[in-house]
Amino acid sequence: MTSQAQTKTPPKQNWFRRALNAVGRFFARIGKGIGNYFAPVGQALVHGDVWTKLSFLVSGLGYFFHGREQEVYGHDLVQDEQGRTTSVVVKSTRYVCQWLRGLFYLAIEAIAAVVLIFWGIPNFAKLSLQNLAVCEIDEELFIEICPENGPDNAFLIVLFSVISILVLIAFFFLHLSSIKGVYRSEVDIKENRPIKSARQDVHDLFDEHFYITTLVLPVIGILAFTLVPTLVMILIAFTNYGGKDAMGQTVDINNFTWVGWTNWSNLFSLGNGGSFLVVFGQQLLWTLVWAFFATVTCFFGGLLLALLLNSKRTRLTKLWRTGFVLTIAVPQFVTLMLIRYFLDDNGIVNNLLVEKWHLLSEPIGFLTDPLTTKFTIILVNCWVGFPYLMLMISGILMNIPSDLYESARIDGASRGRMFFSITMPYILQVCTPYLISSFVANINNFNVIYLLTMGGASNNQAYIDVNARESDLLITWLYNMIAGGAKHEYYMASIVGIIMFTISTLFTLITFTQTTKGDRERRLG
Amino acid sequence: MELSRKTPWRAIITREGKSHAVKLLGGASQEDEVVAFGVSLQKGDRIRLVSGPRSFGYDGLDYDEADSVEEENADILVGTSGEYDLHLSTKHFGNERLRILRPNEDSKTLKATQKKNLAKMRSAVAKERTLVVLHNLLLTILVFAWLIPVFWLILVSFTGDLHGPSLSQFFPARWSMENYIKLFTVINDVNQFPRWFLNTLIVSVCSTIVSTLFVLATAFAFSRFRFKKRKGLMNLSMIIALFPGMLTMLVSYYLFEYVFKINAGLVRLIMAYSAGAGLGYLVAKGFFDTIPTSIDEAAKLDGASSFRIFFQILVPLSKPIIIYTIITAFLSPWVDFVFAKIILGNSGLPPDYTVAMGLINLISSGNILDWFGAFAAGSVIISIPLSILFLIVQKYYVGGVTGGAVKG
């Protein structure tokens, strides 16, 4: 009511009032949404019968007891005069109740209860990560004394807590929907409307509600193996997992604790050693520079290759294309590894340049000198990327409508004009979303840099301190932190991961707004 | 079929009753199209084919040939004056016509111009020929440059007496099969190549089946149904897919070890590769969106359920995208060495390895001196089937990468 009144007032208000109103309307809409969501639950509590009310405690109980006599259609096999069996539709009056739904919600409640009892409560109790039970070394006897049930593992406490919380949240919403459903069935029966039988429910799962059937397994998979890990790793950023405690002692890997925003303030301040901030800044810059150049060089290189290959002058097009495609098909861990030996300080290239041809007195540190490495990496990435883009752009060239060229020629356009006014705009239009997403993919491009620089080390103390090398991208640095180097600094990896995630999300949102303009999605009836 | 210098057209002049017919044959089509009846032609007239703008798609980058509107060198000289019917016999493009040219210059200048034109044309042909040679030479050089690592891989695999990466020369000093023999006969703690190959095959086949089903099912749900929270789910799935996979894999290791308590390495890998597959539904959804919903509606009117519409209508129509999904899912276990290592954790032993992990392990610092040759041999062996597979299905791969966007 109030929001309506506000919109009717003449636009005399200043911008501040209007902004306030907009915010107010926003919250009003959210509030209305929440209200609409919970209103049926309240009605069920107030107006529902005893089974509906009991359903608040036992999920789906009401479904077993809400039933009515109604006409149902079934199939029956009938023998006609000639003795043939045919299936006919039979109408009969039967008692119908939605026991299958009840059973489903009951099972969900049972699962939630089991999760809460066995995973939730024991781990919630320790979730503060204070005073965990650990093994202690008795210094006189030189033996390790462990608690009866084994030492606590802080990581598992966090993991199980996150799983339990997610299960409980899922249960909460399913439970609410079961209450609403029970109440709806009660009202339907009172007002003499038919309800869906269990058989109808099963049928719907393969027809109207088929999307539930198709989505259930993929969504569970995503929840378990993507959402849970993501949440856990985000939480790790606020612990000292793999770091040092306030006294400067290395924290036991099983016995870390919450430190709040301390990690962030420590890492992003210059006072405390500062090497993280310096290295991080440089890695971030290099990652963005790399992603830009890797995307742009591959695009133009691929375009040139595609134009060369699709020219009328080309003979044996298929043979050349096959040659380029072969370089895609051979796994990168093989080819890039070989290129690494190729460009090694003692490798073939340097051997030729220095020993055979005497062009240089010293080998070029293709993959050892920090700056040269960066150039080498972008060059080698051209080797990797050109054929991909060539394939893709060839596909696009084939699809440019020929009438565009026809009308251009009638208007007397030259070849160059046609290329820059038809071919390029068309390719760019189709490729722009791809280019932005490949920019994001290049931010996360692990293979090229890892395989080319495997085993190398930095000479710069600031980099050594934080397990990094000059040529590392954020993603390879991340790998060093969790699996590569000697130290496993998980909390730092988590922080870097969160920042990468933020950057990727930003760029993806840009792509998304770009692509939705031409969305082919239709409204369904 | 188009008329060009490569497919010369010729004319047959016949007498049909009183009139002469000029029949132009070009291309494969035998259909006659009569252009004009009873055209009176004089001796010395030339008939010229004027082709309209030609449609060209794939080769549309080179406009030289497509520009050729008049085929001057193929003019027909009329020898006898009379009335002719002119027929154009070619699969026409709608704009082709015959032009009659009547010389008003004397025959000497005519001959001189013809000679000049001929010389011009010859030099143009010669120039074009050089360009073609240079063009293909450039391509040859590029392809060879691109294939150097592949060639070197094959050469290394046939090199005898290898101790570590033979860094200083390209061609083997001694040719031998010993790397291959070693790879398959010396089976120990370090090398279990046949086992790895089998592992990877099992993992990739199983995870391909599961992830293809997941991807298609998710794409179908998002493309063909409109339900509450659909947009929300789609946005969420787009964003959580962006969290670095390396970190989520690290937690997956703990999930396998302590929550699901799965110790079988192969089962872990299959689950890890396929569990999150639903997130990659976007390309398939884009494809499903291009299939008209009127097809579904017609099927629905005939009483088909969504289940049947999916399996009997959409799946058969979506061959390209299914093949794309299958290849990407099938290839990833063969080339991934990072996630597998994290998933198997410290408990992973050589018998559990996939090919990529095992081969990378062969050239780790402790093993490289003994096993570099075997690494090359193993790489060649897995590259052969992968390359063949990729070459066969590359067109589907391209279609998938561009996500159907190509259709504009």
- CB–CB of A263/A237 below 8 Å? yes
Pick from A218, A339, A399: CB nearest B218: A218
Residue B163 in any domain: the answer is no
Confidence of residue B403 (pLDDT cuts 50, 70, 90): low
What is the CATH number for B267? 1.10.3720.10
Query: Dmax over Cα atoms in chain A, in whole Å?
Result: 104
Q: How many CA atoms lie within 13 A of A507 on its CB side?
A: 22
Does B211 share its domain with B347?
yes
Least confident of A68-82, A151-165, A258-272, B42-56: B42-56
Query: Inter-chain contact B334–A331, Cβ cutoff 8 Å?
Result: yes
Does B115 share its domain with B100?
no
Which residues neighbour A519 within 8 Å (Cβ) at sequence distance 6 or greater? none
Residue B164 in any domain: the answer is no
Does B134 share its domain with B203?
no
Number of independent structural domains in chain B:
3
pLDDT given for residue A3 in this prediction: 46
Whole-number Cα distances in Å, A32 to A21, A25, A37, B309: 16, 10, 8, 38
Q: Does residue A363 register a pLDDT over 70?
A: yes
Torsion over CA: B398, B404, B405, B408 (sign): positive
Question: Measured between alpha carbons, how far is B399 from A395 in angstroms, rounded to an integer?
Answer: 8
Chain B hits for A310, Cβ within 8 Å: 58-59, 61
Region B244-255 average pLDDT: 88
- How many angstroms separate the CA of residue B239 from the nearest CA in chain A? 6
Tell me the range of A329-338, A403-412, B84-93 where mean pLDDT is highest: A329-338
- How many angstroms separate the CA of residue A231 from the nearest CA in chain B? 9
B55, B58, B61, B193: best to mutate for the A interface, most A CBs within 10 A:
B61
pLDDT given for residue B285 in this prediction: 86
Confidence of residue B65 (pLDDT cuts 50, 70, 90): very low
Chain A hits for B245, Cβ within 8 Å: 444
Question: Measured between alpha carbons, how far is A505 from A195 in angstroms, rounded to an integer?
Answer: 45
Percent of chain B exceeding pLDDT 90 equals: 15
Q: Does residue B257 register a pLDDT over 90?
A: no
Does B99 share its domain with B121?
no
Query: Inter-chain contact B149–A335, Cβ cutoff 8 Å?
Result: yes
Q: Does residue B3 register a pLDDT over 90?
A: no
Question: Measured between alpha carbons, how far is B211 from B325 in angstroms, rounded to an integer?
Answer: 8
Which amino acid, A410? I
Chain B hits for A214, Cβ within 8 Å: 217-218, 220-221, 310
Residue B172 in any domain: the answer is no
Q: Does residue A5 register a pLDDT over 60?
A: no
Please tell me which residue, A54 or A84, carries the higher pLDDT value.
A54
Give the SS3 label for residue A480.
Answer: helix
Give the model confidence (pLDDT) of B349-392 as tens digits: 778 888 998 888 888 878 888 888 888 899 999 999 998 888 88
Confidence of residue B140 (pLDDT cuts 50, 70, 90): very high
Q: Does residue A262 register a pLDDT over 90?
A: no
Chain B, window 17-36: residues with a beta carbon less than 8 angstroms from a chain A beta carbon:
none
Which residues neighbour A242 within 8 Å (Cβ) at sequence distance 6 or greater? A251, A253, A256, A481, A487, A488, A489, A490, A491, A492, A493
Q: Does residue B95 register a pLDDT over 70?
A: no
pLDDT given for residue B92 in this prediction: 43
Please tell me which residue, A8 or B106, carries the higher pLDDT value.
B106
Q: Does residue A273 register a pLDDT over 70?
A: no
Does B243 share its domain with B353?
yes
Pick from A339, A392, A406: CB nearest B401: A392
A123, A208, A215: best to mutate for the B interface, most B CBs within 10 A:
A215
pLDDT given for residue A292 in this prediction: 92
Percent of chain A exceeding pLDDT 90 equals: 16
Does B201 share its domain with B224?
yes
Closest C-alpha to B69, from B90, B99, B91, B103? B99
Query: Inter-chain contact A402–B56, Cβ cutoff 8 Å?
Result: yes
Question: Measured between alpha carbons, how far is A314 from B334 in angstroms, rounded to an integer?
Answer: 34
Residue B166 in any domain: the answer is no
Give the model confidence (pLDDT) of B208-229 as tens digits: 999 999 999 999 999 888 888 8
- CB–CB of B350/B364 below 8 Å? no
Question: Measured between alpha carbons, how far is A111 from A170 in angstroms, rounded to an integer?
Answer: 11
Does B314 share its domain with B371?
yes
Region B172-197 average pLDDT: 86
pLDDT given for residue A346 in this prediction: 78
pLDDT given for residue A518 in this prediction: 46
Least confident of A221-235, A260-274, A438-452, B301-315: A260-274
Question: Measured between alpha carbons, how far is B134 from B137 in angstroms, rounded to an integer?
Answer: 5
Chain B hits for A230, Cβ within 8 Å: 240, 243, 247-248
Give the model confidence (pLDDT) of A206-233 as tens digits: 888 889 999 999 999 999 999 999 999 9
Chain B hits for A423, Cβ within 8 Å: 61
Give CB contacts under 8 A, 24+ apart, made by A270-278.
A273/A465, A275/A461, A275/A462, A275/A463, A275/A465, A275/A466, A276/A465, A276/A466, A276/A492, A278/A462
Confidence of residue A290 (pLDDT cuts 50, 70, 90): very high
Residue B129 in any domain: the answer is yes
CB atoms within 10 A of CB B43: 10
| Paired tokens of B400 | 């998938």
Does B189 share its domain with B296?
yes
- Pick the residue from chain B with its C-alpha nearest to A505: B239
Residue B339 in any domain: the answer is yes
Does B285 share its domain with B346?
yes
Confidence of residue B10 (pLDDT cuts 50, 70, 90): very low
Domain boundary among B85, B104, B123: B104
Region A403-422 average pLDDT: 82
Least confident of A440-444, B136-140, B163-167, B201-205: B163-167
Percent of chain A exceeding pLDDT 70 equals: 92
Which residues neighbour A20 within 8 Å (Cβ) at sequence distance 6 or greater? none
Q: Does residue A17 register a pLDDT over 50?
A: yes
Give the model confidence (pLDDT) of A142-167 as tens digits: 777 777 777 778 888 899 999 999 99
Question: Measured between alpha carbons, how far is A489 from A476 in angstroms, rounded to an integer?
Answer: 14
Region A124-147 average pLDDT: 76
Provide the residue range defining the domain that includes B276: 178-407
pLDDT given for residue B208 in this prediction: 94
- How many angstroms separate the CA of residue B64 from the nearest CA in chain A? 9
Domain boundary among B104, B122, B143: B104
Mean pLDDT (chain A, rounded): 82
A337, A352, A380, A496: best to mutate for the B interface, most B CBs within 10 A:
A337
Residue B41 in any domain: the answer is yes
Confidence of residue A374 (pLDDT cuts 50, 70, 90): confident
Radius of gyration of chain A (CA): 33
Region B284-306 average pLDDT: 85
Residue B168 in any domain: the answer is no
Does B205 share its domain with B219?
yes
pLDDT given for residue A62 in this prediction: 82
Whole-number Cα distances in Å, B190 to A218, B156, B160, B165, B193: 37, 20, 20, 18, 9
Percent of chain B exceeding pLDDT 70 equals: 74
| Paired tokens of B401 | 């990468």
Closest C-alpha to B379, from A87, A329, A161? A329
Buried residues in A5-33 as b, exposed as e (16+ CB within 10 A) = ebeeeeeeeeeeeeeebeeeeeebeeeee
Does B188 share its domain with B293?
yes
Please tell me which residue, B121 or A3, carries the higher pLDDT value.
B121
Pick from B147, B156, B307: CB nearest A207: B307
pLDDT given for residue B174 in this prediction: 81
Query: Inter-chain contact B258–A344, Cβ cutoff 8 Å?
Result: no
Q: Does residue A96 register a pLDDT over 70?
A: yes
Please tell me which residue, B159 or A521, carries the higher pLDDT value.
B159
Query: Dmax over Cα atoms in chain B, in whole Å?
Result: 100
Residue-level length of chain B: 408
Does B222 share its domain with B268?
yes
Region B243-251 average pLDDT: 88
Question: Measured between alpha carbons, how far is B353 from B265 in angstroms, rounded to an integer?
Answer: 8
Question: Measured between alpha carbons, how far is A255 from A245 in angstroms, rounded to an integer?
Answer: 11
- CB–CB of A303/A330 below 8 Å? no
pLDDT given for residue A121 in this prediction: 87
Give the model confidence (pLDDT) of A45-66 as tens digits: 888 888 888 888 888 888 888 8
Whole-number Cα distances in Å, B228 to A209, A425, B113, B233, B239: 12, 38, 78, 9, 19
Pick from B67, B153, B242: CB nearest A508: B242
For tokens 């802080």, the residue is: A154
Question: Measured between alpha carbons, how far is A199 from A217 in angstroms, rounded to an integer?
Answer: 22
| Paired tokens of B407 | 């259709």
Please tell me which residue, B140 or B103, carries the higher pLDDT value.
B140
Region B73-77 average pLDDT: 67
Mean pLDDT (chain B, rounded): 77
Which amino acid, A365? G
Region A86-113 average pLDDT: 85
Chain B hits for A307, Cβ within 8 Å: 61
All structural domains of chain A = 69-97 (no CATH), 99-236 (no CATH), 272-517 (1.10.3720.10)
| Paired tokens of B265 | 């390495």
pLDDT given for residue A451 in this prediction: 87
Confidence of residue B408 (pLDDT cuts 50, 70, 90): very low
